[in-house]
């Protein structure tokens, strides 16, 4: 690992004053950043440790739940308020990484972990995300883990987070601090698709800091499910995952929320399927139809073509679990 | 229109900034000369460029407590907790398997929480209490989990074992050892090439059921 300078500001202003400088990176839990630094994928000159900022709180507000950017993934997953009111988030977090890693990983770091694939990690291979203009090794290469939605000829990597899939489904809002004050961004607009600029994973500017996320109150607690399909039962990234949340009254779906992981450069919301489910009776048929609708525009690239079948099956299954039919 | 298609309008990026690394290095070699002059250094600190001067010193002081003993060390910011434990403190019980957070061999407790020491920068441990496998036994008396691993043959080659045991103790303390299924899930961050899993689960269940304080 290349040498770097380490600083540890104790105020938000202190962090904002330095993060804009070239070669500077924030470190929170370090589980993604240190890994990438060890592999030489990224080599900052300066690390800004933000762990001394007071951003760990998990509190209920009149509008919903506020979670500080430095709250640990394990702390959020185990939190009583989360378990009771936002079980979808708890399930997604518990499906991610390992207990040790969740004890280090923070909410902000989880959002900011790189959208990535094996070619991004392998510095001897082409990768437009790591080295813009060098080509995409995965497009016609080893792409079993890769995107079936929203990819471009430049990049078909997927965002690996489980937590973010749940937060996208729950219409969370990201709270961002910058030099000019705070701004709020809908979670679904935080991450971006690769397009012509796969080197950019999201819309956070270099001089900005994530301070927290807010999840609005909802009626999904009784009927939520996170289903993650992977090569082994635990401690593996998703092939496909689905966050399903239903608001059911007298056997009729009032509102549905669906998001998928492992299929796109960002957490992938299934807006059309959600709309189609509204007003439908709770039934396997409704779920299968919604799952088919969700697959419009999906595209396989060879090795990952199996996801075209796995994804709708996983959507239908997650909905069954959420509705209590499984 | 609600959609996922927000390709446009990139506002910023993390890695683009890395391109001007060379500029920084140029700057910091200039600063070496400055830093060697104490008087200038003091003045520079007052002028808020102190952090740049710190960059040219390779090592930084680190105080932490390891297995109950306070340690005063001098470390490179890039040294992981794992490397500091093994190479500076000669605590070689903690193992390096993958060095990338994928195997759990390096599991230690930081302020009571189990973490992967291979992805933990030592410099970030200032003021923390670290417990390694060497700190688990009570002088000559093995920890109940160590006893149970021996009794149940919870290992073959033994390489993953320190990490398994640190994780197993945390698993019970966290309240995640309620059933075989739960133990398997909450021990999934520790890989064993020798496949000693069934015996590891048995060892944990015995300690859990024995009700001893772990
Ligand atoms: C072996 C392994 C398996 C994993 N498996 C899974 C999995 O199954 N599911 C899953 O979801 N994840 C998985 N992960 C990823 C893990 O969840 C992330 O690495 C973790 O969430 C990152 O959080 P962190 O706090 O450690 O981030 P760091 O590594 O500290 O930072 C990551 C990035 O975020 C930036 N950053 C951090 N905080 C902020 C902030 N507040 N504002 C602005 N920028 C910030 C940093 O600059 C850096 O670029 C796995 C990781 C490993 C190593
Ligand atoms: S050595 Fe740390 S997880 Fe493998
Ligand atoms: S005992 Fe050999 S790796 Fe676990």
User: What residues in A contact B18, CB-CB < 8 Å?
Assistant: 22-23, 42-44
In this prediction, residues A56-65 reach a mean pLDDT of 97
Ligand nearest to the CA of A35: 1
Task: Write the CB contacts of B29 (distance below 8 Å, at least 6 apart in sequence).
Answer: none
**What lines the ligand 3 site, CB under 6 Å?**
B 155-161, 192-194, 196
| Separation of CA B111 and ligand 2 centre (Å) | 19
Looking at per-residue confidence, does A293 or B58 come out higher? A293
CATH superfamily of this structure's domain B136-214: [2Fe-2S]-binding domain (1.10.150.120)
Does the Cβ of A24 fall within 6 Å of ligand 1? no
Q: In terms of CA atoms, which chain A residue is nearest residue B25?
A: A45
Angle between helices B161-173 and B197-210 (to 10 degrees): 40
Distance separating alpha carbons of residues A170 and A63, to the nearest angstrom: 13
Q: In terms of CA atoms, which chain B residue is nearest residue A37?
A: B78
Give the CATH class of B58-135.
Answer: alpha beta
% residues pLDDT > 70 (chain A): 100
- The three-state secondary structure class of B109 is strand
Whether A15 shows a pLDDT value over 70: the answer reads yes
- What domains are there in chain A, each with its CATH number? 5-51 (3.30.43.10), 224-323 (3.30.390.50)
Which candidate, A1, A2, A43, places its Cα nearest to that of A24? A43
Question: Running along chain B, 214 residues long, what does each successive block of 10 average in pLDDT?
Answer: 58 38 40 41 46 64 98 98 98 98 98 98 98 95 98 98 98 98 98 98 98 90
| Separation of CA B86 and ligand 2 centre (Å) | 13
**Residues B55, B28 contacting (CB under 8 angstroms):** yes
Tens digits of per-residue pLDDT, B152-207?
A: 999 999 999 999 999 999 999 999 999 999 999 999 999 999 999 999 999 999 99
Whether A145 shows a pLDDT value over 90: the answer reads yes
Give the per-residue pLDDT at B34.
38
> Using a CB cutoff of 8 Å and minimum separation of 24, what contacts does A286-293 make?
A286/A253, A287/A315, A287/A316, A287/A319, A287/A320, A287/A323, A288/A312, A288/A316, A290/A256, A290/A258, A290/A315, A290/A316, A290/A319, A291/A315, A291/A316, A291/A319
**Residues A9, A15 contacting (CB under 8 angstroms):** yes
Structure-token pair, residue A281: 């009776």
Closest Cβ opposite residue A34 in set B12, B25, B119: B119
Distance separating alpha carbons of residues B133 and B109, to the nearest angstrom: 9
Most A-contacting residue of B119, B128, B180 (CB-CB within 10 A), to test interface: B119
Structure-token pair, residue B187: 């021990």
Give the per-residue pLDDT at B160.
98
Q: In terms of CA atoms, which chain A residue is nearest residue B50?
A: A7
CB atoms within 10 A of CB A144: 16
Does the Cβ of A138 fall within 6 Å of ligand 1? no
Closest residue by CA, ligand 3 atom 4: B192
Enter the pTM of the model.
0.92
Integer CA distances (angstroms), A234 to B69, B154, B203, in order: 36, 20, 21
Structure-token pair, residue A272: 């059309």
Nearest 5°: the CA angle B21, B26, B30 is: 145
Give the per-residue pLDDT at B140.
92
**Residues A298, A273 contacting (CB under 8 angstroms):** no
**Residues A47, A38 contacting (CB under 8 angstroms):** no
């Amino acid at each position: 690992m290349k040498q770097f300078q380490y600083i540890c500001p104790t105020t938000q202003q202190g962090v904002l004053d330095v993060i804009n400088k070239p070669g500077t990176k924030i470190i929170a839990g370090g589980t993604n950043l240190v890994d990438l630094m060890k592999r030489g994928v990224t080599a900052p000159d300066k690390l800004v440790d933000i762990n001394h900022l007071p951003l760990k709180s998990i509190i209920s507000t009149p509008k919903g739940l506020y979670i500080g950017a430095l709250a640990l993934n394990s702390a959020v997953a185990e939190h009583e308020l989360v378990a009771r009111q936002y079980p979808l988030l708890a399930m997604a977090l518990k499906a991610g990484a390992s207990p040790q890693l969740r004890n280090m990983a923070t909410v902000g770091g989880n959002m900011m972990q790189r959208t990535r694939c094996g070619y991004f990690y392998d510095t001897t291979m082409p990768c437009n995300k790591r080295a813009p203009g060098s080509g995409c090794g995965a497009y016609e290469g080893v792409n079993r883990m890769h995107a079936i939605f929203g990819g471009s000829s430049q990049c078909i990597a997927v965002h690996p987070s489980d937590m973010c899939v749940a937060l996208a489904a729950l219409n969370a809002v990201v709270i961002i601090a910058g030099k000019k004050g705070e701004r709020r961004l809908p979670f679904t607009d935080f991450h971006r698709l690769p397009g012509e600029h796969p080197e950019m994973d999201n819309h956070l500017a270099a001089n900005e800091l994530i301070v927290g996320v807010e999840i609005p109150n909802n009626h999904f607690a009784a009927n939520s499910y996170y289903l993650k399909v992977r090569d082994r039962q635990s401690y593996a990234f998703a092939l496909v995952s689905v966050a399903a949340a239903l608001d059911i009254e007298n056997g009729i779906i009032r509102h549905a929320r669906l998001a998928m992981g492992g299929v796109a450069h960002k957490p992938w919301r299934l807006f059309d399927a959600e709309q189609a489910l509204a007003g439908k009776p709770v039934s396997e048929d409704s779920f299968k139809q919604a799952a088919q609708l969700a697959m419009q525009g999906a595209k396989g690239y060879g090795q990952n073509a199996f996801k075209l079948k796995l994804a709708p099956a996983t959507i239908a299954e997650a909905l069954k679990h959420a509705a209590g039919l499984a | 229109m609600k959609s996922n298609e927000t390709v446009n309008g990139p506002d910023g990026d993390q890695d683009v900034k890395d391109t001007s690394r060379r500029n920084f290095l140029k700057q910091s070699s200039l600063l070496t000369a400055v830093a060697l002059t104490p008087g200038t250094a003091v003045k520079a600190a007052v002028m808020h460029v102190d952090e740049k001067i710190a960059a040219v010193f390779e090592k930084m002081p680190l105080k932490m407590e390891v297995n109950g003993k306070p340690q005063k060390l001098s470390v490179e910011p890039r040294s992981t907790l794992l490397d500091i434990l093994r190479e500076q403190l000669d605590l070689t019980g903690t193992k390096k398997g993958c060095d990338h957070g994928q195997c759990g061999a390096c599991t230690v407790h930081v302020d009571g929480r189990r973490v992967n020491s291979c992805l933990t920068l030592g410099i970030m441990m200032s003021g923390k209490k670290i417990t390694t496998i060497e700190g688990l036994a009570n002088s000559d008396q093995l920890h109940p989990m160590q006893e149970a691993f021996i009794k149940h043959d919870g290992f073959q080659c033994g390489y993953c074992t320190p990490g398994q045991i640190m994780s197993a103790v945390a698993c019970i303390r966290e309240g995640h050892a309620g059933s075989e299924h739960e133990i398997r899930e909450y021990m999934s961050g520790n890989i064993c090439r020798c496949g000693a899993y069934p015996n590891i689960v048995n060892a944990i269940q015995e300690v859990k059921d024995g009700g001893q304080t772990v």
